């Protein structure tokens, strides 16, 4: 059994469960849950912001951020593949009355600075008012470099716009970039946030928490965000049983993300070798991972047999069909996380190696 569907499927470890059990509790709506207050203070100091706010999900923290930065009829510049645009049920438009201005991604996952600048509307009553630039890091496992992050923040300041990071896997980006910049992962994460007005950080992906995300920003911004959170139904009560897990994760589970990155490379290398040597897997193409996510493309005919085979042997992955100008293909996503061991990857590779086409 190996569950590669997402790094959201992780189970809290024994120490995290104990921290949750022992957490001091209050009422977060009354702003007196001591564990939640501690997490928010710790996270804000860690990433270089004045304040932070705990919410149930990254979808909600992103929506809260956009609704706190923008008014009805304002515009946010986003990427075509950003979660804020494509994967969060259109909440910015439906609930926030915010117009998204989506831009095509470059091959490296960035938005071209020239495209961002060109999308900013002039002050004219014919147009929605551009108010916000949203950036996502990582993007499908791709890491946006520090220089690029700084350039986007500088562009936003130059144009008088706010800028927000969907940093659901920000810590994966930080771990991937830390060595290059001779910083610790925590220092690197702080650097990636410099110049941004807000960031959303997911605690329930690679960091291993059962639920929850943080929104970080200025004291004034978080005060607005708290009102929006209440409006969206995100005001909870004894949140300390959840935020204790977040505190544990930020203190213990950041550096270990490097293990997930190494496991993803190991998995990708093994799949490449199988594709080269196994006749049944000739259509399998492996996209080299930068962090903890491996994508593999294959013909629909191969996927129709390989996916049931994997499921039969307890290997869970996600898959989706996409169309190019030349052909149709299936893309499988393999996500490595703290509940995927090297031995599970070796077992998975062995099973794939035994696969035969019927």
pLDDT digits (tens, 9 = 90+) for 230-279: 999 999 999 999 999 999 999 999 999 999 999 999 999 999 999 999 88
pLDDT at 293: 98
Identify whether 322 is preceded by a cis peptide bond (ω within 30 of 0).
no
pLDDT at 358: 78
Burial of 158 (0-12, 13-18, 19+ CB in 10 A): exposed
Residues 349 and 6 sit within 8 Å (Cβ to Cβ): no
Whole-number percent of the chain with pLDDT over 70: 100
Decide if pLDDT at 326 tops 80: no
Q: Judge if 12-252 and 257-353 fold alike in CATH terms.
A: no
Rounded Cα distance between 192 and 190, Å, is: 5
Which residue ranges make up each domain of the chain? 12-252, 257-353
Return the CATH fold of 12-252.
3.40.640
Nearest one of 128, 170, 135 to 154, comparing CA atoms: 135
Decide if pLDDT at 325 tops 80: no
pLDDT at 266: 98
Tokens linked to 252 = 């213990």
Mean predicted confidence (pLDDT) in 16-44: 98
pLDDT at 46: 98
Helical (H) or strand (E) element with 113:
helix 113-119
Residue 50's pLDDT band (boundaries 50, 70, 90)?
A: very high
pLDDT at 269: 98
Class at the top of the CATH hierarchy for domain 257-353: alpha beta
């Amino acid at each position: 059994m190996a569950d590669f569907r997402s790094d959201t499927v992780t189970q809290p470890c024994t120490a995290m469960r104990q921290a949750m059990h022992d957490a001091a509790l209050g009422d977060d709506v009354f702003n007196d849950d001591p564990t939640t207050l501690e997490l928010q203070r710790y996270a804000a100091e860690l990433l270089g912001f004045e304040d932070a706010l705990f919410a149930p999900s990254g979808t909600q923290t992103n929506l809260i951020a956009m609704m706190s930065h923008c008014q009805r009829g304002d515009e946010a510049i986003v990427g075509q593949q950003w979660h804020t645009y494509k994967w969060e049920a259109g909440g910015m438009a439906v609930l926030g009355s915010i117009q998204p201005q989506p831009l095509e991604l470059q091959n490296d996952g960035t938005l071209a600075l020239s495209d961002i600048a060109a999308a900013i509307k002039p002050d004219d009553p014919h147009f929605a008012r551009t108010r916000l630039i949203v950036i996502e890091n990582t993007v499908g496992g791709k890491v946006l470099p520090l220089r690029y992050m700084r350039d986007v923040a500088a562009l936003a300041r130059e144009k008088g716009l706010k800028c927000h990071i969907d940093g659901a896997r920000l810590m994966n980006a930080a771990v991937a970039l830390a060595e290059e910049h001779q910083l610790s992962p925590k220092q690197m994460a702080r650097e990636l946030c410099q110049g941004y007005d807000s960031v959303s950080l997911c605690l329930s992906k690679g960091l291993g928490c059962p639920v929850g995300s943080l929104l970080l920003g200025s004291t004034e911004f978080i005060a607005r965000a708290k009102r929006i959170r209440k409006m969206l139904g995100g005001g909870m009560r004894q949140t300390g049983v959840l935020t204790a897990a977040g505190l544990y994760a930020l203190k213990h589970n950041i550096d270990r993300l490097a293990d997930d990155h190494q496991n993803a490379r190991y998995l990708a290398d093994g799949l490449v070798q199988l594709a080269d040597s196994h006749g049944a897997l000739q259509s399998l193409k492996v996209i080299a991972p930068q962090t903890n996510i491996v994508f593999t493309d294959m013909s629909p005919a191969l996927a129709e047999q390989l996916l049931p085979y994997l499921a039969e042997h307890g290997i869970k992955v996600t898959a989706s069909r996409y169309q190019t100008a030349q052909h149709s293909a299936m893309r499988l996503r393999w996500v490595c996380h703290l509940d995927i061991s090297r031995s599970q990857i070796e077992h998975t590779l062995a099973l794939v190696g035994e696969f035969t086409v019927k």
